[in-house]
Amino acid sequence: MAIDTRTECTARIANSRFDPCWQAVMDLVEIDLERLRSRLETAVEADVKHLQGRIYQLRQLRKAMIGSPRDDAANRPGRSE
């Protein structure tokens, strides 16, 4: 038995699209795709929130380490008030 060419396979698939079993399988595929899209969006939102929190923490750490410009001026050696 010869292996079907890609064109023959594509034609067979196109002709079977109106088969009820084909429709049922495609419906299941669509449902799974929608679930995956939803999970991906949720994961992306969670990752964004996590990264925003991390950025906030790092900014707070940087601020604590370098201080505000007023603190720097007040703490410079040789400054008299």
Are 26 and 34 in contact by the 8 Å Cβ rule? The answer is no
In the chain, where the domains are located = 11-73
| Position 68 pLDDT exceeds 60 | yes
DSSP state of 68: -
DSSP state of 67: -
| Position 75 pLDDT exceeds 70 | no
Taking residues 31-41, what's their average pLDDT? 89
0.75 exceeded by the pTM?
no
Are 13 and 7 in contact by the 8 Å Cβ rule? The answer is no
| Per-position DSSP letters for 1-14, written without gaps between them | -PPPPHHHHHHHHH
Lowest-pLDDT range of 18-32, 42-56, 59-73: 59-73
pLDDT-derived band of residue 10, with 50, 70 and 90 as boundaries?
confident
pLDDT score, position 74: 58
Helical H runs in 1-81?
Answer: 6-15, 20-66, 69-74
